[in-house]
């Protein structure tokens, strides 16, 4: 926190930042950790989020206001989602190995291979979906966000997000059926 305080100019700003820091740091960590599921990454996101908050410190009028919390949680969620997506794209091999280990203990090898092939195919099909279908499915299933959270990120209504999600799933089911795969 001391490094961050040095970025502020007046004692009034420093005092306001300290109040903000102690009021929100644990909540910010909880939001980041619920998305990232990694203690160290969540701490990094909280630190980076505080740097962004300082850059836009003039926008914060009331430290304990709902508007301030909305501003902070938006920053933390976006930083967390970006880091999650970055790590997901750069640790795919480890992720696949973890899935293999999980299935190896619970199912036959044949079923494991079939599930892995379907999973890989689904990933490829989702990548090929047009916007906004792909975005909604990524946020919904890979980032495990709720419809209302996705709606706020994509600046759409929750009803619109549900409709987009349903249409995207139908497109995926249709494409899988075209390939002779039925996942009932």
Residue 16 pLDDT class (50, 70, 90 cuts): confident
Its pTM stands at 0.48
Cis peptide before 132 (omega within 30 of 0): yes
Q: What's residue 17's pLDDT?
A: 84
Please name the fold of domain 129-178. Answer: Arc Repressor Mutant, subunit A (1.10.10)
Say if CB 136 and CB 165 are below 8 A apart.
Answer: yes
Q: What confidence tens digit (pLDDT) does each residue in 82-134 have?
A: 888 887 766 443 444 444 433 344 445 566 667 777 778 888 888 888 888 88
Which CATH entry fits the domain spanning 10-89: 3.90.1570, 1.20.1460, 1.10.357, 1.10.1740?
1.10.1740
């Amino acid at each position: 926190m001391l490094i961050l305080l040095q970025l502020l100019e007046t004692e009034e700003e420093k005092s306001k930042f300290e109040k903000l820091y102690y009021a929100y740091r644990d909540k910010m960590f909880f939001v980041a950790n619920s998305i990232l599921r990694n203690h160290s990454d969540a701490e990094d996101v909280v630190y980076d989020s505080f740097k962004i908050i300082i850059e836009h410190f003039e926008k914060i009028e009331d430290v304990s206001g709902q508007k301030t919390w909305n501003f902070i949680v938006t920053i933390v969620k976006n930083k967390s989602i970006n880091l999650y997506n970055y790590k997901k794209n750069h640790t795919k091999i480890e992720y696949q190995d973890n899935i293999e280990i999980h299935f190896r203990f619970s199912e036959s090898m044949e079923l494991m291979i079939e599930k892995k092939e379907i999973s890989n195919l689904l990933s490829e099909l989702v990548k090929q979906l047009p916007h906004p279908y792909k975005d909604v499915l990524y946020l919904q299933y890979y980032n495990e966000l709720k419809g209302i959270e996705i709606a706020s990120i994509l600046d759409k209504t929750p009803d619109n997000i549900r409709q987009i999600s349903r249409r995207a799933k139908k497109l995926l089911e249709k494409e899988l059926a075209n390939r002779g795969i039925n996942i009932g």
